[in-house]
């Protein structure tokens, strides 16, 4: 695989990480674009002796401070605001492990520190975020009582606070208007119901996770506050998707990543504004 193709493969993850670290989508994309420009000039030598994916994360980690200085950190919701309140290195260590799935050893290499340093950063960050996770109440919407109850037990085991459980779209809209949850997790059938719930959740600045065997792209193209979990439901998939929703990832992060880079020649990536 050619070098620029390898970079393109990691763009969605790099954008997600940069968005969460800087607290601003526009600033995060500017940071990733700057990384690509550097790689165009310096090629693999800019990555040092690290594997490609670790080298890319390291470049973003080391350059983050200069971009955060100009960011208008405007992440909505208490949870994301709490993430932005963390010290930069705490935020980076937490995101690299909890969202990006790197090992302690890999994070130490990315952040140029020891594994004990990483553990200390994550411990401090986790203590702060535990309360934020409790504050980010989740509204469960499920048409079937048994499925909704199972979902509630699962989220309880993750340490999340549940604001309520609704069994219809009408009940969900009424409860959400009153309780203003930080996140909505829905198991509803039908395109119209998901679209209405997503639009309403967006007005509350709350992301929506919907559980369905129907892919999101067949529902609507403009539901950028929605994340999808396929069926059958696995606990690890729900947990990972909730973490990503709370940290600010959107469903279209993958598709939009390719707008940052266009392969116009066999050996040279070209940025698109």
Q: What is the pLDDT of residues 49-71, one digit of tens each?
A: 889 999 999 999 999 988 875 44
116 vs 265, residue with greater confidence: 116
**What is the pLDDT averaged over residues 71-84?**
59
With 60 as the cut, is the pLDDT of residue 251 above it? no
Give residues with Cβ within 8 angstroms of 76, minimum separation 6: 205
Residue 271 confidence class, pLDDT cut points 50, 70, 90: very low
Report how far residue 124's alpha carbon sits from residue 21's, in angstroms, rounded to the nearest whole number. Answer: 17
Has this prediction a pTM greater than 0.85? no
The answer to whether 132 and 179 are in contact (CB under 8 A) is: no
Q: Name 140's bridge partners.
A: 165, 185
User: Cα-Cα-Cα-Cα dihedral of 262, 263, 264, 267, to 10°?
Assistant: 140
Q: What is the pLDDT of residue 272?
A: 33
With 70 as the cut, is the pLDDT of residue 257 above it? no
Give residues with Cβ within 8 angstroms of 115, minimum separation 6: 104, 105, 107, 108
């Amino acid at each position: 695989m050619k070098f620029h193709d390898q970079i393109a493969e990691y763009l969605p993850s790099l954008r997600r990480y940069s968005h969460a670290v800087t607290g601003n989508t526009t600033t995060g994309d500017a940071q990733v674009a700057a990384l690509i420009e550097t790689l165009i000039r310096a090629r693999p030598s800019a990555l040092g002796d690290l594997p490609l994916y670790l080298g890319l994360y390291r470049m973003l980690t080391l350059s983050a401070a200069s971009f955060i200085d100009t960011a208008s950190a405007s992440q909505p919701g208490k949870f994301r605001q709490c993430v932005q309140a963390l010290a930069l290195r705490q935020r980076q260590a937490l995101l690299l492990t909890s969202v990006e799935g790197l090992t302690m050893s890999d994070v130490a290499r990315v952040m140029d520190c020891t594994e004990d340093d990483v553990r200390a950063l994550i411990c401090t960050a986790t203590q702060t975020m535990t309360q934020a996770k409790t504050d980010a109440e989740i509204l469960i919407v499920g048409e079937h009582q048994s499925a909704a109850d199972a979902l509630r037990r699962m989220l309880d085991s993750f340490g999340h606070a549940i604001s309520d459980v609704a069994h219809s779209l009408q009940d969900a809209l009424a409860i959400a208007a009153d309780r203003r949850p930080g996140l909505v997790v829905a198991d509803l059938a039908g395109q119209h119901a998901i679209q209405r719930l997503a639009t309403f959740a967006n007005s509350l600045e709350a992301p929506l996770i919907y559980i369905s065997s129907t892919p999101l792209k067949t529902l609507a193209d403009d539901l950028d506050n929605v994340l999808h979990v396929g069926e059958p439901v696995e606990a690890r998939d729900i947990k990972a998707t909730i973490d990503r929703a709370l940290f600010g990832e959107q469903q279209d992060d993958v598709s939009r990543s390719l707008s940052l880079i266009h392969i116009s020649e066999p050996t040279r990536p070209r940025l698109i504004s």
